[in-house]
Structure 1
């Protein structure tokens, strides 16, 4: 049956912290709106204060072959682009009161939105879950000496339990751990930077990939990491009151990602210039240069940071899955999906404890393949609807099963297929252009973003004009 109005989330929730959030992807009613934009800073900073962020900087100088200062430039630029996009998307949450993947229906249509929602459910609820669980597991293993499988069980149970409770508990958890993670990582950063050698020559890098290629690889990976949060944006701003300043929402949400990612990725890049790693365990190798007490505190912070990141991945992954139209008991539908993702993510993470660094590198590059086209389409759609400041024109279509906008799916498929077919530079598949010009690295996300945006604009504008 078609739905022409936005369903309001039922059940009492308010500002309760230790309570299971009711409902799923319905619009948040006015009576439940609460919170301040400032809280978005630590909500988005805490999940990035973890080893996965650091390791991306390590890849830039150790694997992609950049000097420290070349890596810094790519890191700052990649994070700036993804953070600006995150701020724009986050600012829509208070106005519409719905999750980001529900808002995505405006650009893709109700059924066409199954494409990005399906991708997000897999990458967030399973892919990112596994990546961050593994990094937290390595840290806990290094700290305690306990078997890796046991460390993984502890990590998974903690993050699933927090995500199960829902929105308010998630925000509170990120606020509680923020000062702890900040203090430990800032001190660790000072130690690493003081021992680093920024003028050290670039590493060997990937064979046949030149400096420009290494730069684009780093840029794509950094952008993919930061923009990996973009499809979650309004999930964590939809409880704010509609009259909340859009500028403040966008600023604090974007700054949380930019500051945390930029600082830790630069620290990761600097750590490689200290000398060869003394351990195959990447987390152990990172803390080897620190005093023992600080090293242990950093390992604990890395474990907590991994949990902090996966709390959001499970929560938003469940939101995306529900956006696909899955029918579950109304009161606990989101919580039940969170538990399911926890089980599946645990099994995937368990299989990824071996050769984690290589798998992480591939995942970071590939995740940008689909997010970049999706982001290009959504940003163009927002610009085309810029006069709809109160969301009154978008609201009627978000839950309408009859609503179609095939410009979105078509543009995304074109962006994905063409960019991957021509520019992908992975071991599993190398595109036509990348194969004949390996020195360019992997610019698939850049091409996908631009191509999808242009195709969507070209298809959508004539449709809009015909309806005037």
Structure 2
């Protein structure tokens, strides 16, 4: 029995008709520079500014420390994204589809659900923040009120406008998405540069220069926060884009395209956020981050800033919604890919309406969200990357075969070595995790007050434990018990 929802139609033309089935080698012509622009575009949104502000407001870092933390946290975490994207080049399929080979066609359900929740969560954050930007823009142009709860009809309309722009690109698919991300980066990137230069003129340089450095432990905790809020959240989506990369592309080029593509804008924006917070730490806890940043700008800069904010969030959402559609199909929803995109945006629209019109706080749930999801996603990365040490290619037919007796059926549809390693790492990782802000804890593990927990290293422990357990259970043996070996006989492929 196979996944009948996905047809074998080629991804030719503007509309991508392919679902999650592996892309044939003769249709894979992508180059790493394409992924550079994809990752660059996805990370020029304004959410990086309040994320950088948390380093100063909550971690009490000096500016130079915040820059180091931004560099290590964002570039390092997106290097992991690049490593996972190597699997997409090897197998030509989305990341969670390839994950069937690791966890089994049934055991993969857990990681797939977590990935889908992650994508839907980030889309809700993007949509909510973009709607705030549109509300502010309407207030300037038409004199309406900018408070969401004061104008519920206009708020919902702003949400729907952002969702419509998202669906137009994400629904069309890979070819359109890659083209839009590249060219839109120049437009919105230029606007961001203008806004950034203006914001720099508002920095309280005396406060920046007089700030005392924080302990090394605070920097370590900051790296964890930045990694969880940037690259870790994208790791399980990276192969979704790299599946169209040419099989001849070198692994190192894929890692570099992700690390540099995302790292350049993130380091600049996170560092700018930390500069701004030195004089005004309220940015880190603002219910409406768009309005908080706008208040720091001169009146004439408001419209360009809001357009840049909207555009940056839109570029991030394009990629997230596209990935969520593929993840939905991997979960077994039997609809065409474009309809899966529509299902996902309906969910995020409802979530955005809740956060803007019902919930009283925005960034409390946001910080809790990235903290909680960083653990299971990192556990998946630990298992998946460890598996990549021995598995240099994937069986295309077996990835789509959900029936008994398939190569990836294993024992009852589950590869227990992977699933147990993943689950145990999650349970242990959460014991070192605190979710939420310092004033609003949603969850606190048993060892959250330990040195490791206080320094935000729960996700690191999770990765090491997941990878170590999987290796100990035989996950990196050249041939696992009861499994047909999935390795290439090509020396160059093994080296890559």
Q: TM-score, normalised by structure 2?
A: 0.83
Q: 1:355 to 1:241 in 2, by over 3 A?
A: same
In the alignment, the residues of structure 2 paired with residue 336 and residue 128 of structure 1 have an alpha-carbon distance, to the nearest angstrom, of 20
Shift of residue 136, structure 1, vs aligned partner: 1.0
Q: 1:12 to 1:432 in 2, by over 3 A?
A: closer
Tell me what 1:242 maps to: 247
Counterpart of 2:447 (choices 433, 440, 445) is: 433
1:58-207 residue pairs with structure 2 within 5 A?
58-124=53-119, 126-145=120-139, 147-196=154-203, 197=205, 198-201=208-211
Q: 1:466 to 1:290 in 2, by over 3 A?
A: closer
Deviation at 1:317, TM superposition (A): 0.8
Q: Secondary structure at the match of 1:51?
A: coil
Post-superposition offset of 1:218: 2.3
Tell whether 2:462 aligns with 1:442.
no
Farther-moved stretch of structure 1 (145-154 vs 160-169): 145-154
1:126-164 Cα shifts (integer Å, max 9, x gaps): 211110111111122222225333221211121122211
Q: Which of 315, 330, 345 lines up with 2:322 in the alignment? A: 315
Superposed displacement of residue 303, structure 1: 0.7
Decide whether the 8 Å contact of 1:221 with 1:368 is kept in 2: no
* Secondary structure, counterpart of 1:428 in structure 2: strand
Structure 1 unmatched runs, 5+: 204-209
**Which deviates more from structure 2 when the two are superposed, residues 218-227 or residues 27-36?**
27-36
SS at match of 2:134: helix
Which residue matches 1:260?
265
Distance 1:11 1:461, change over 3 A: closer
Matching residue of 1:221: 225
In structure 1, C-alpha distance between the alignment counterparts of 2:371 and 2:476, rounded to whole Å: 34
Q: Deviations over 1:84-140 (max 9, x none)?
A: 11122223323321111112223212211111111111210x211110111111122
**Superimposed CA distance per residue, residues 368-391 of structure 1 (whole angstroms, 9 cap, x where no aligned partner):** 111111111111111233xx3xx2
Return the alpha-carbon distance in structure 1 between the equivalents of residues 51 and 383 of structure 2.
27
Shift of 1:34: 3.3
Count of residues paired in the alignment: 447
Matched, 1:283 2:277: no
What is the alpha-carbon distance in structure 1 between the residues aligned to residue 324 and residue 453 of structure 2?
36
Q: Give the alignment's Cα RMSD to 1 decimal.
A: 2.7
Give the Å deviation of 1:12: 4.4
**Which residue number in structure 2 is paired with residue 207 of structure 1?**
none
Is the Cα contact below 8 Å between 1:99 and 1:238 reproduced in 2? Answer: yes
- Trace 1:308-457 onto structure 2 (pairs within 5 A): 308-328=315-335, 333-353=336-356, 354-385=360-391, 388=392, 391=393, 394-395=395-396, 397-401=398-402, 402=406, 403=408, 404=410, 405-424=415-434, 426=436, 427-435=441-449, 440-457=454-471
Q: 1:466 to 1:251 in 2, by over 3 A?
A: closer
SS at match of 1:130: helix
Give how far 1:252 is off.
1.7
- The equivalent residue for 1:11 is 9
Unaligned runs of 5+ in 2: 145-153, 486-496
CA distance in 2, matches of 1:439, 1:237: 34
Task: Give a deviation string over 1:338-385, Cα, whole Å, max 9, x none.
Answer: 101111110011111241122222122222111111111111111233
Kindly indicate whether the alpha-carbon contact (under 8 Å) linking 2:386 and 2:475 is maintained by their aligned counterparts in 1: no
The question of whether the paired residues in 2 share the 8 Å contact of 1:46 and 1:308 is answered with yes
| Deviating more after overlay: 372-381 vs 397-406 | 397-406
| Offset at residue 463 of structure 1 (A) | 6.1
Q: Is the 8 A contact 1:163 1:314 kept in 2?
A: yes
CA pair 432-296 structure 1, distance change in 2 beyond 3 A? same
Larger CA deviation: 77-86 vs 58-67:
58-67
Whether contact under 8 Å (2:432, 2:453) holds in the other structure is no
Kept in 1, the 8 Å contact 2:87–2:388? The answer is no
CA contact (8 A) 1:425 1:441 kept: no
- Cα deviation, residue 202, structure 1: 6.4
Q: CA deviation at 1:336?
A: 0.7
Residue 41 of structure 1: aligned partner: 36
Residue 457 to residue 39, structure 1, CA distance change in 2 (3 Å): same
Distance 1:246 1:442 in 2: 30
How far has the Cα of 1:416 moved from its partner?
Answer: 0.4
- 1:41-100 deviations in whole A, cap 9, x for unaligned? 111111111111222111221233322222222221111221211122223323321111
Counterparts in 2 of 1:77 and 1:253: CA distance versus 1, 3 Å = closer
Q: TM-score, normalised by structure 1?
A: 0.87
Cα–Cα, structure 1 residues 456 and 27, in superposed 2: closer, same or farther, change >3 Å?
same
Given the superposition, is the C-alpha separation of residues 439 and 28 from structure 1 closer, same or farther in structure 2, using an over 3 Å criterion? closer
Kept in 2, the 8 Å contact 1:375–1:449? The answer is yes
**Deviation digits for residues 200-227 of structure 1, max 9, x if unmatched?**
4369xxxxxx855643442222111212
Select between 132-141 and 422-431 the one with higher mean Cα deviation.
422-431
Contact kept, 8 Å, 1:48 with 1:261, in 2: the verdict is: yes
Relative distance call for 1:439 and 1:117 in structure 2 (3 A) is closer
